[in-house]
Amino acid sequence: MFNHFIEIIIFIFGMCAGSFANVCIYRLPLSKSIIDPPRSFCPNCKAMIRFYDNIPVLSYLWLKARCRNCSQPIPFRYPLVEIICGSFALGAFLKFGFSFECLIYFVFITSLIIITFIDIYHQIIPDVITLPGIPISFLASFVLPSLTYKDSLLGLLAGGGSLLIIGWIYYLIKKVEGMGGGDIKLLAMIGAILGWKGVLSTVFIASVTGTLVGIIIMMRTQKDMKVPVPFGPFLSTGAIIYIFFGQDLITWYFGLLRI
């Protein structure tokens, strides 16, 4: 019974973190401060949101997805991000227990969620997350039991370097930019906290899922391969999958090679 209570608290904590993630998703692309004003406000009428209208998920349902002041619809993204963050907080707790490892990975996952939604809506990956995220992720290697600082450095170089080389080769062939600088810095950050094995798994998963989604979009829109598809969400997805199932995936993959 007590364990279930703790899990509920962890889930609620994660949803609160998701509420802050929504602030970042809205403000960072607009170059607005995420701490000033400290209270959330309606993007349409600019009215400050009351504390009881800012309860994760519940306020969205209570207000029937509309602003109390101007009745403008509240995007479904807000409760979605809160539920996603709550779910990953609980997932990290169940996998790593009550530990620094759990906290570090949850903060990292939350940053990836923020990056994912910003990249989907604006096709940018903010440097304000990835640039400080690279050294912070490297410092995490001194705390995480599954990562050494050498693996972190190799992952950083493998992550940033691999996409840099791919982008350079694509430019030589097509004469156009094929890989954004934001993706390169994102994978460097991922490599710094997951190591070189995490980079390989992340790139593989991102490539497969990105290709499938790109084909689906192309078929639905009846357009050619020039349809822009942000790669950041797929890199983030690959990194999160590796955090929870990385060792199992590696074991499964090498098992296939022995067949």
pLDDT digits (tens, 9 = 90+) for 178-212: 566 888 999 999 999 999 999 999 999 998 998 88
**Rounded Cα–Cα distance for residues 96 and 41 (Å):** 35
218 pLDDT band, cuts 50/70/90, is: confident
Q: Cα-flanking dihedrals φ and ψ of residue 41, to 5°? A: -140, 160
Radius of gyration of the chain (CA): 20
What kind and span of H or E run contains 97?
A: none
DSSP 8-state code for residue 41? B
Q: What is the pLDDT of residue 177?
A: 58
For residues 96-117, average pLDDT: 97
Q: What is the pLDDT of residue 171?
A: 57
Please count the other Cβ atoms lying within 10 Å of the Cβ belonging to residue 248: 9
Which residues are registered as beta bridge partners of 73?
66
106 Cβ partners below 8 Å, 6+ apart?
14, 17, 88, 89, 92
Per-residue pLDDT tens for 58-103? 999 999 999 999 999 999 999 999 999 999 999 999 999 999 999 9
- Per the CB < 8 A criterion, the answer to whether 22 and 82 are in contact is yes
Q: What is the pLDDT of residue 180?
A: 65
- Helix (H/G/I), strand (E/B), else coil: 111: helix
Which ranges of the chain does DSSP label H, i.e. alpha helix? 2-27, 58-62, 77-96, 100-122, 127-140, 149-174, 181-221, 232-257
Task: Specify the residue for token string 């929870």.
Answer: 244
Q: What is the pLDDT of residue 175?
A: 57
Rounded to two decimals, what is the model's pTM?
0.89
Residue type, 175: K
Please count the other Cβ atoms lying within 10 Å of the Cβ belonging to residue 71: 11
**Rounded Cα–Cα distance for residues 229 and 217 (Å):** 9
- Per the CB < 8 A criterion, the answer to whether 130 and 189 are in contact is yes
**Rounded Cα–Cα distance for residues 212 and 216 (Å):** 6
Percent of the chain at pLDDT above 90? 66
Query: Burial letters for 96-107: b for 16+ Cβ neighbours within 10 Å, e otherwise?
Result: beeeebbebbbe
Q: Cα-flanking dihedrals φ and ψ of residue 71, to 5°? A: 65, 15
Q: Which CA distances in Å does 15 have to 19, 113, 191, 217?
A: 6, 13, 27, 31
Asked if omega into 37 is within 30° of 0 (cis), the reply is: yes
